[in-house]
Chain A
Amino acid sequence: MPTTFYNKKKSTFWGGSKGIAKTTAIVIAVAIIVIGAVAGVGIYLSTRPKPSPTVSAVTVNLYDDTLAPSEISFFKTTLIPEFEQEYPNITVNLVVESASNMVQTIEALIQGNDVGPSLIILDNLVIGELLFGNYLTNLTPYSTSILPSTLISSMQSLVSYEQKAFGGIYFVPFRGNIPLVWYNKTVFNELGISPPSNWAQLLQDSQMIYQKTGVKPVMFQGHGGASTYTELYQWMVQAGGNPFLFNDTGDVMAMQYLYNLSAYFAPNYIHGYWGNYKGLINGEYYILDYQWPYIYSTMASEGVNVSRIGFYPGPAGPSNSGHLVGGDVLAIPRGATDMPALLHLANFLLSTEAQHQLITVLGEPAVNANAYANLPANLSELYTAEEDAFQTAFFREPVPWITEWGTIADQVFTQIIVNHAPYSQIPAILSQANQQMYNYLLSNYNSTVAQQYEEGYYTPLYG
């Protein structure tokens, strides 16, 4: 096999052939420019507001945070067309982005005086950032036309809390979300155990499963960010603690317990977040503590045999079995135009018909109590579990510094669980977190807020 030692022609390291000729390259470049220009013109033309042939044709921008693919598809193919049929003059443009991105987008639009007809569906906690930044329209004058008279009780409490704490209604509940614990029925049956009813049993069962099967069975939302600190919040409440403080007895107990439980966390827990459920199907883990109920219909739509997946409100904590109510609220950004169209859309989203579909198609808890009538048999089981969980519902108080708390909570999780600090250091780490939060409030707000924080003034809200 002849290998010449060195090819004296400097410019040919491609072995003698020169690639393509210059003219071809020019043709390619021109082709790209033409395609790009066409695309650009196309985008420009399609995003220009169309002149309305009839009076008051409006395109409403509906912002929704972090929808799963099945949810997006349902909105686009079913829910929105239903609305547009009822109101032919209104078109709805669905914009999906993560909660924190949406906050930035809305703030950007308001500062640029560019809001237009916009309605937002946002996490019931992150809404606090927009609320305290004064970016929301006061909805009190419209509340009677939007709010259904049949809100479920925990949501009614939320609305009352709003009026008390903020002096008005700035957001209305749209859909509730409450986490459940999911487990692999087949494995549990084979091992002859029933799903754990309290923390002690959870630890015991996990240990046993690991010893018998060699699989670390527990999945936790440990990726970091909102998923993790939301989950930590619930665990701390169930131990009787005030999560904001980080270092009261309940909080310390919760972190110590999780430290012990983490010995049985599935290795992929460091990537766990609200989107994980596949591991339950492929045997990567056996108990998913916890996950939001949307996965039930997602799994069903993917053809998974859901009869081998069990779910229930989950093991009770040492103090209570409180369940964190997540979910989204509707709000209207300050400076939005075309109020009548927005109100129509809000009204529609909260109507019995729409809310009923939230349950039947997406498996999400509706806030309109009437929507729960006439549920199909397979869903009623899911609904029963959710209703059970709602009995012990609580809300996180939407303070403006919640994401700062979350970042610190994340740090605590990393130090204690992921990096496995020594068990004896847990109280010290938590106290440091408390100090960090205090300092932050002191320098970014004032000493009153910091003092109130330290005294436990900000607590979970019970429905």
Chain B
Amino acid sequence: MKKNTLLWVGVVVMTAYFLIPLYVLLLIAFNPAKFTIEALYPPPILKQPTLNNFILALTQYNFISPFLRSASVATLVGLFSVALGIPAGYGLGRLPSSLAYPLLVLVLITNMMPGIVVAVPISTEFIRLHLFNSVLGLSLIQTLVTLPLAIFIMQGTFSSIPREVEYQARLDGGRFRSIITRILIPVALPGIIAAFLISWMFSWDEFTYAVILSPVKPTLPVEIYYSITRGNLLTGVAFSLIFTIPVIILTVALQRYLKGEYLSGGVVR
């Protein structure tokens, strides 16, 4: 049937489109240099695959510190985003559209502030507060990138919990705090986890603020960028692959939570 072939052509083409850059990275990481960066027309297949590039990269260059730095920053960012996002999402989920909509737009606008516009004045503040080049400072700023999405997700989650559930619990004599912990949070848990993990991923990837506010003790993406600009391409690629693995695992494992409804913030139901 014509529909079938069209479908399969689409699947094959899109699969190739999505996988080719990853394949190229694998080639460069595992092929010896003379088949990659030293060749004018590099062969598109694995020839004499070797682990040399990785061994060189990991023994000669510092991978652990940027890696740990990225991990701690990402975790803090996840926690901050959730800490700010849960109450905000709850409030926005319960407010009527006329009030919620402008606030949502406000949050959306912060997502669009160019990194430079924010980073330059903030860096002078941070210097005063001794937060320049620090894990805490960078985490505080990166939350700016992840917070709007976290709020969107939490708002979508909470607005899908009917108010009646709360009223019923209150009628049954529950105090506000226990309503939150016994009812709201458990029901909203998938959304909370989604928000935490997506914020974690975005922070792991974040580059602009990291390169401006923490240049001396870099996070991993910045370290990779430095390797590349110093002409050390193979190390950059080796680090990139190792760096990507946790995220691929996360992305694959969390497909269930990366739903379109969450990403559009439950605004369109």
In the complex formed, the residue of A with least CB distance to B130 is A112
**CA–CA, A14 and B229, complex, Å:** 40
Contact A105:B229 (CB < 8 A) given known A36-B75, A278-B38: no
Q: Given A20, A36, A95, which contacts B74 in the complex, CB threshold below 8 Å?
A: A36
Instruction: Assess A69 versus B232: contact at CB under 8 Å? Given A3-B3, A3-B7, A14-B255.
Output: yes
What CA separation (Å) do A40 and B80 show in the bound complex?
15
Contact B69 A19 (CB under 8 A): no
What's the Cα separation between A95 and B218 when bound, in Å?
11
Cα–Cα, bound, A112→B134 (Å):
13
Contact with B along A269-290 (1 / 0, CB 8 A): 0000001111001111000000
| Interface contact A25-B254, CB-CB below 8 Å | yes
Contact with B along A5-47 (1 / 0, CB 8 A): 0000001001000111010111011001101110110110000
Q: Which of B210-255 contact A (CB under 8 A)?
A: 215-216, 227, 229-232, 235, 250, 253-255
Q: How far is the CA of A105 from the CA of B126 in the complex (A)?
A: 12
Residue total for B at the interface (Cβ-Cβ under 8 A): 49
List A contacts of B147 (CB < 8 A): none
Number of interface residues of A (CB under 8 A): 46
> A32 contacts B253, CB within 8 Å?
no
Say whether A39 contacts B72, CB under 8 Å: yes
Contact B127 A32 (CB under 8 A): no
Question: Given A3-B4, A39-B71, A39-B75 in contact, is the A25-B193 Cβ separation under 8 Å?
Answer: yes
Chain B residues whose C-beta falls within 8 Å of the C-beta of A277 in the assembled complex: 231
Q: Which residue of B lies closest to A273 (CB)?
A: B229
Q: Which residue of B lies closest to A36 (CB)?
A: B75
Which residues of chain A in 85-126 are interfacial with respect to chain B, using CB atoms and an 8 Å cutoff?
95, 97-98, 101, 104-105, 108, 111-112, 114
Cβ of B72 and Cβ of A40 under 8 Å apart? yes
Given known contacts A40-B135, A69-B60, A275-B231, A108 and B253 CB-to-CB distance under 8 angstroms: no
Chain B neighbourhood of A114, CB < 8 A: 130
Q: Does A156 contact B (CB under 8 A)?
A: no
Knowing A19-B253, A19-B255, A105-B215 touch, does A43 contact B69 (C-beta < 8 A)? yes
Q: Main SS of the interface on chain A?
A: helix
Interchain CA distance A3-B189 in the complex, whole Å: 34
Residues B72 and A112 in contact, CB atoms below 8 Å apart: no
* Binary CB contact string for chain B from 24 to 43 against chain A (1 if under 8 A, 0 otherwise): 00000000010001111000
Report if B161 contacts A (CB, 8 A): no
B215 to A: closest C-beta gap in Å:
5
Q: Are A24 and B253 touching (Cβ within 8 A)?
A: yes
A20 touches B256 (CB 8 A): yes
Which of chain B's residues have a CB closer than 8 A to the CB of A24?
A: 253
The 8 listed contacts between A and B (C-beta, < 8 Å) are: A37-B75, A66-B230, A101-B216, A108-B123, A111-B124, A111-B128, A281-B38, A282-B40
Interface residues of B (CB under 8 A from A): 3-4, 7, 33, 37-40, 60-61, 65, 68-69, 71-72, 74-76, 78-79, 123-124, 127-128, 130, 132-133, 135, 189-190, 193, 196-197, 200, 215-216, 227, 229-232, 235, 250, 253-257, 259
